[in-house]
Amino acid sequence: MKITVMGASGRIGTRLVDNLRQAGIEVISASPTFGVNSVTGECLRPAIAGADAVIDVTNAASFGDDSALDFFRASTRNLLAASADAGVRHYLALSVVGTPRLVESDYFRAKMVQENLIRAARRPYTILHSTQFFEFISGVIDMGADGDSFRLPSAYIKPIAADDVAEILAELAMGAPRNDTLEINGNAQFGLDEIARMHLAANEDSRQVITDDSARYYGVELNDDTLLPLKTARVGALRYEDWLNRSMAD
């Protein structure tokens, strides 16, 4: 089996490539770092030629303007066209839990366009919605910075380790396309304000977290369940507390 990973030099992509190779899969690592650009199309078709599956774990460089929309529209169109021409039998893309409920945000509106393009292509596909990664919790906290404190809502989140996401993606890529959206989350639920306090305490950061349910997440005001899966989700193995302790020790 041969699989092309687009976005292979990123946080998920590097783990995913390792997992697939350990499973005996022939992997083509594709990203601008490897000379393959899904936006311009540079070297894209040779990277996909002969692949049984394409895994799209690309991401936009910007989260707050039209550049995310431009990126996902161009990248996804090019990847789908190249995959169709190569006869790829499974197109697997990583997206985000809550995307349809977060389209006030430029970034999530762009992700919704990506998903709609994949569905409209009428090719065998799987879309995997993941909750926020453990590794990005610090960035979520920083969004709430307000002087010497942080303002964050109490909306619930079930974050997941990037290692678990990569493992599940590899498993899905080696299976049949689902022609549907699947969801994954971590094994514990926290309020955003609560997990921020845990993270700051672990880093011996004494700054205060103020619970403010009007505080926005990527520009969107949240309900309690906006960031939670709508249906039964696959659950990652790693506990946030264990990951946090390990990351502090590294």
pLDDT one-digit tens code per residue, 23-57: 999 999 999 999 999 999 999 999 999 999 999 99
Count of C-beta atoms within a 10 Å radius of residue 61? 7
Q: Tell me what the mean pLDDT of segment 190-218 comes to.
A: 95
pLDDT category, 162, cuts 50, 70, 90? very high
CATH number of 2-249: 3.40.50.720
How do residues 80-134 score in pLDDT, each as one tens digit?
A: 999 999 999 999 999 999 999 999 999 999 999 999 999 999 999 999 999 999 9
**What pLDDT is attached to residue 247?**
84
pLDDT category, 61, cuts 50, 70, 90? confident
Three-state SS at 26? strand
What one-character DSSP code corresponds to residue 123?
Answer: S
Least confidently predicted of 58-62, 127-131, 210-214, 246-250: 246-250
CA distance 221 to 158: 18
How do residues 175-184 score in pLDDT, each as one tens digit?
A: 999 999 999 9
What one-character DSSP code corresponds to residue 98?
Answer: T
Over 70: is that where the pLDDT of 63 sits? no
**What pLDDT is attached to residue 41?**
97
CA distance 132 to 68: 18
Higher pLDDT, 246 or 40: 40
Q: Where are the domains of the chain?
A: 2-249
Strand partners, 32: none
Over 80: is that where the pLDDT of 250 sits? no
Strands (E), 156-211: 156-157, 181-185, 190-191, 208-211
User: What is the percentage of the chain residues whose pLDDT exceeds 70?
Assistant: 99
**Mean confidence (pLDDT) of the chain:** 95
Nearest Cα residue to 222 out of 135, 144, 165 = 144
Q: What is the pTM of this model?
A: 0.94
**What pLDDT is attached to residue 64?**
62
**What pLDDT is attached to residue 66?**
80
Q: Tell me what the mean pLDDT of segment 154-169 comes to.
A: 97
Task: Give one DSSP letter per residue of 28-89, joined into a string.
Answer: EEESGGGT--TTT-TTHHHHHTT-SEEEE----S-SSSTHHHHHHHHHHHHHHHHHHHHT-S
Over 80: is that where the pLDDT of 62 sits? no
CA dihedral 34, 39, 45, 47 (to 10 degrees): 20
How many residues are listed for the chain in this entry? 250
